[in-house]
Amino acid sequence: MRLLQIVNWKTTIMGIGSLMALWGPALELLFDSDPLTQPDWNLLVAGTISAIGLIYARDKDKSTEDQKKFKTQV
């Protein structure tokens, strides 16, 4: 059940929102009926890596002690 216990919820929500904003239009371009429209793959890769970094980042108001305490409780 560790997936349901999000300690750094602020950066996690921003990372998930970034992924949705990034991949929504890209999927639309991929699945339209025109084979000539393609998403910018360089932008998608760079944006996805950045969004994953946000998901795993620590919030500003969390200390290292809070993170260690959470890990020992789980």
Global confidence as pTM: 0.72
Q: Where are the domains of the chain?
A: 2-60
70/12 Cα distance (integer angstroms):
16
Q: Taking CA 4 as the corner, what is the angle to CA 27 and CA 16, rounded to the nearest 5 degrees?
A: 30
56-69 confidence digits (pLDDT tens): 887 777 666 666 66
pLDDT tens digits along 24-51: 999 999 999 998 999 999 999 999 999 9
Nearest alpha carbon to residue 12 among 59, 57, 61, 55: 55
